[in-house]
Amino acid sequence: MKKLFPLYLVAALLTGFLYSCATIDLYEKTVAIPDHAWKSSFKPGFDFTIKDTAASYTVFLVLRHNEKYSFSNIFLNLYVKGPGQDSTIKIQKELTLATNEKGWLGSGMDDIYEHRIAMAAPQSLKAGTYTFTLEQIMREDPLENVLNAGIRLEKKP
């Protein structure tokens, strides 16, 4: 049994090493909102290069706000420009952040809440660089108590 122990240790280390080298099928980037007040003129952009054209990807909004955020929703425009496209596709969405029954729907720590909400259905994308741009279109401008906004792109299994 003592002779097998080093073999088990080597196998465990090798397995851990191989899993640590696996690619992560996700892209996420957020930006800080200046002064925690998202002006409609501040439109953060994110670039992502797609290599796997056989996969489908879902686009998520990543939003962090504090408990003083005044609304249970947010209205946004997501602009997408793909490789070789002259024009930009606009996706307008109303996303629910809270309900009367459950409160904030995102995960929370102290008075900070984070939401990851699907903005675009899964779709296959061709190879190349995509640019995603976020624009808040709420009536309140600037939109107070928003800390970060970003994009998460997940590959569907």
Q: Which residue has the tokens 């970060």?
A: 148
Tens-digit pLDDT profile for residues 56-67: 899 999 999 999
Cα torsion through 138, 76, 81, 125, rounded to 10: 180
What is the DSSP-derived secondary structure letter of residue 103?
E
Going 19 to 20 to 21 to 26, the CA torsion angle's sign is positive
Tens-digit pLDDT profile for residues 71-111: 999 999 999 999 989 999 999 999 999 999 999 999 988 89
In terms of Cα–Cα distance, which of 29, 28, 54, 32 is closest to 42?
A: 32
In terms of Cα–Cα distance, which of 82, 77, 23 is closest to 50?
A: 82
Q: Say what the pLDDT of residue 130 is.
A: 93
Beta-bridge partners for 102: none
Tens-digit pLDDT profile for residues 131-148: 999 999 999 999 999 999
What six digits make up the tokens of 72? 């249970």
Please provide residue 93's backbone torsions phi and psi, each rounded to the nearest 5 degrees. Answer: -140, 145
Q: Say what the pLDDT of residue 3 is.
A: 52
What six digits make up the tokens of 78? 């997501």
**Structural domain boundaries of the chain?**
26-155
CA 133: distance to chain centroid?
A: 12
Question: What pTM was estimated for this model as a whole?
Answer: 0.80
Are the C-beta atoms of 57 and 123 separated by less than 8 Å?
yes
- H or E element at residue 113: strand 112-124
Are the C-beta atoms of 134 and 80 separated by less than 8 Å?
no
Are the C-beta atoms of 60 and 119 separated by less than 8 Å?
yes
Tens-digit pLDDT profile for residues 12-21: 545 554 444 4
Q: Which of the listed CATH numbers 3.30.360.10, 2.30.140.10, 3.30.420.40, 2.60.120.260 matches domain 26-155?
A: 2.60.120.260
